[in-house]
């Protein structure tokens, strides 16, 4: 049976949050973890600021750990797990997180995020990243979809809209519709309705088209799947992002969760303590945020204990190049 992250935490850390971050001495990671287990600790966690990186096109700093929403936030009011997922969003902001990524194509996830941040009154404290994709329906249809996103988030301006899968279908990868999608995004950016524009992909077969788009079109962001178990983007896309000054959002940082099965029953290496890493999730995430091209990693979760674990990976220190090599080499031997 595949080992889930939840089971791994139970086996490897006992009481989850208290032991995942249970080393003695104060640290930023422990302050963040304690924010969901101790009264008033969220304020302390804010003081233990998350690492930030600049968006190359503007210099604006954003935290290196964000929050994804695909599947995990496909929830309706009153549905089991809805209140817990809302708690995740609230605590994400309390812990200093800002970047939440969603899409109109994620079933009800975008509506969930919108109604949650409006309900908490934090809609203007979130770096809202969403997407547009209407296939061959044209610019007017794209504008209607984006206007609906504005209403969903209760905003007059969104931070980032990305062309989802280059404007094609997840089943039929193509770059046939990227030009007109980017045209409407450029118009919206000029009009001040968005601050940044970009593209996304979630399939390796589309990488050649993504590379061509990054070379041809001006953009602020590219989103792609990247993990210690899927390092293909390191070959061409991440170096190109650095060369072109494009910010990178890394999704699926645990692949499909199967990374946790690979480390089942195995202790963290001793050297993980050198960069304040206290769980396998942090090990995987710190590897990603330490890549110089990666601006923000967006793990998705609807569980508060997993959120605390993820956010602790955004606390300093960041592994240096030598530590990155050790992380990768150790994982390859498992």
Give the pLDDT confidence of 112-123 residue by residue, as tens digits.
999 999 999 999
Domain assignment present for 183: yes
Range scoring the smallest mean pLDDT among 20-29, 161-170, 234-243, 274-283? 20-29
At 188-218, the pLDDT tens digits run: 999 999 999 999 998 888 999 999 999 999 9
What average pLDDT does range 274-287 have in this prediction? Answer: 97
First to last CA, the chain: 18
Domain total in the chain = 1
Q: Give residue 73's pLDDT.
A: 97
Domain assignment present for 324: no
- Structure tokens, 264: 């089942």
Domain assignment present for 36: yes
Whether the pLDDT of residue 34 is over 70: the answer is no
Q: Give residue 205's pLDDT.
A: 86
Domain assignment present for 333: no
Q: Which range among 21-30, 143-152, 167-176 has the greatest average pLDDT?
A: 143-152
Average pLDDT, the chain: 88
CB 160 within 8 A of CB 196: yes
Residue linked to tokens 């959002």: 249
pLDDT-above-90 percentage for the chain: 78
CA separation, residue 303 to residues 2, 199, 228 (Å): 19, 28, 22
Domain assignment present for 298: yes
CATH number at residue 62: 3.20.20.100
Domain assignment present for 332: no
What is the DSSP secondary structure assignment for residue 67, as one 8-state letter?
B
CB 209 within 8 A of CB 171: no
Claim: this prediction has a pTM higher than 0.85: yes
CA separation, residue 98 to residues 38, 128, 307 (Å): 22, 8, 13
- Structure tokens, 165: 């899968």
Range of the domain at 99: 5-317
Domain assignment present for 169: yes
Domain assignment present for 334: no
Whether the pLDDT of residue 168 is over 90: the answer is no
Residue linked to tokens 């602790």: 312
């Amino acid at each position: 049976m595949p080992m889930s992250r939840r089971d791994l935490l139970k086996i490897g850390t006992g009481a989850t949050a208290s032991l995942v971050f249970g080393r003695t001495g104060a640290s930023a990671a422990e302050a963040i973890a304690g924010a969901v287990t101790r009264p008033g600790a969220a304020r302390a966690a804010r003081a233990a600021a998350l690492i930030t990186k600049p968006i190359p096109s503007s210099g604006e700093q954003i935290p290196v750990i964000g929050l994804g929403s695909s599947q995990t936030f496909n929830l309706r009011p009153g549905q089991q797990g809805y209140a817990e997922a809302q708690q995740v969003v609230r605590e994400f902001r309390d812990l200093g997180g800002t970047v939440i990524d969603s899409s109109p194509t994620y079933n009800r996830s975008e509506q969930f995020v919108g109604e949650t941040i409006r309900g908490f009154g934090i809609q203007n404290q979130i770096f809202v990243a969403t997407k547009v994709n209407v296939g061959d329906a044209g610019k007017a249809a794209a504008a209607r979809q984006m206007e609906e996103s504005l209403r969903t988030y209760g905003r007059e301006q969104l931070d980032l809209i990305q062309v989802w899968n280059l404007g094609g279908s997840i089943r039929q990868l193509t770059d046939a519709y990227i030009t007109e999608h980017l045209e409407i995004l450029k118009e919206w950016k000029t009009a001040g309705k968005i601050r940044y524009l970009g593209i996304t992909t979630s399939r390796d077969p589309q990488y050649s088209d993504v590379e061509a788009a990054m070379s041809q079109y001006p953009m602020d962001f590219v989103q792609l799947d990247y993990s210690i178990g899927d390092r293909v983007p390191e070959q061409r896309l991440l170096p190109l992002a650095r060369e072109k000054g494009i910010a990178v959002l890394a999704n699926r940082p645990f692949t499909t969760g199967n990374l946790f099965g690979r480390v089942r029953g195995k202790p963290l290496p001793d050297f993980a303590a050198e960069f304040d890493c206290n769980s396998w999730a942090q090990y995987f995430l710190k590897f990603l945020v330490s890549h110089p091209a990666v601006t923000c990693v967006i793990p998705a979760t609807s569980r508060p204990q997993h959120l605390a674990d993820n956010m602790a990976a955004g606390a300093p220190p960041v592994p240096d190049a030598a530590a990155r090599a050790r992380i990768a080499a150790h994982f390859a031997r498992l």
